[in-house]
Amino acid sequence: MIASEPSTGHGLLYPLNLFRQRDQHPLPAVEALEGEAMPEPYRSLLVHTGDMTSRLEAFHRSRMTLRALHVDPQPAIYRREVLLCTEEDGTPVEYGAIEIRLDAFPESLRSEIVAARQPLGGLLNHHGMKYHSAPRGFFRVLPDATLASLFNVDAASCFYGRSNHLVSSEKKTLARIVEVLRP
């Protein structure tokens, strides 16, 4: 089954759809998957309620750095399109499109988020903020030239990802994220 969604709203690929629409690129074709149907190592990396930054760092045995591709700052909502890369050699290991509710964070943390120097999960962990992931869905991305170019892999590659919300201990949505892993 190929999932599709309107160009607006909060579908499975939100907020990725906003960046693709802005760049006049089509949304990638995705196939929705149940978490348990996700092949390894993607299942271990994506199907959980913890943070991705720590999981990626453990898997790749390297700290993660953030490379901001595009930033869309608004007063209350901050969107960015990013690559998480290994600190060791700069290999991009995760692509993310994220919408962050700035009003859900203390002012000191907001300035660090907007500086776009560290992954959000790393910042939240560093500041001891309690939160969890609430995955909304898992998917396989059929070959997509844009993602292949970002990861510098063969254009015939498939990718695996998830649509996720970060939720505070008070059950407030902190961020909406589409996370896609390198093949």
Determine the pLDDT at residue 1: 32
Residue 4 has pLDDT above 50, yes or no: no
Determine the pLDDT at residue 52: 94
44 φ/ψ angles, rounded to the nearest 5 degrees? -65, -35
pLDDT digits (tens, 9 = 90+) for 113-160: 999 999 999 999 999 999 999 999 999 999 899 999 999 999 888 999
pLDDT digits (tens, 9 = 90+) for 62-111: 999 999 999 998 889 999 999 999 999 999 999 999 999 999 999 889 99
Nearest-angstrom CA–CA distance, 179 and 163: 6
Contacts of 101 (CB under 8 A, 6+ apart): 76, 77, 172, 173, 174, 175
Peptide bond into 15 cis (omega under 30): yes
Q: Which residues pair with 100 in a beta bridge?
A: 78, 175
Structural domain spans, the chain: 2-181
Residue among 49, 102, 25, 94 nearest 71 (CA): 102
Which CATH superfamily includes the segment(s) 2-181? Chorismate lyase-like (3.40.1410.10)
Q: What's the rounded mean pLDDT across residues 26-55?
A: 95
CB atoms within 10 A of CB 99: 22
Q: What is the pTM of this model?
A: 0.91
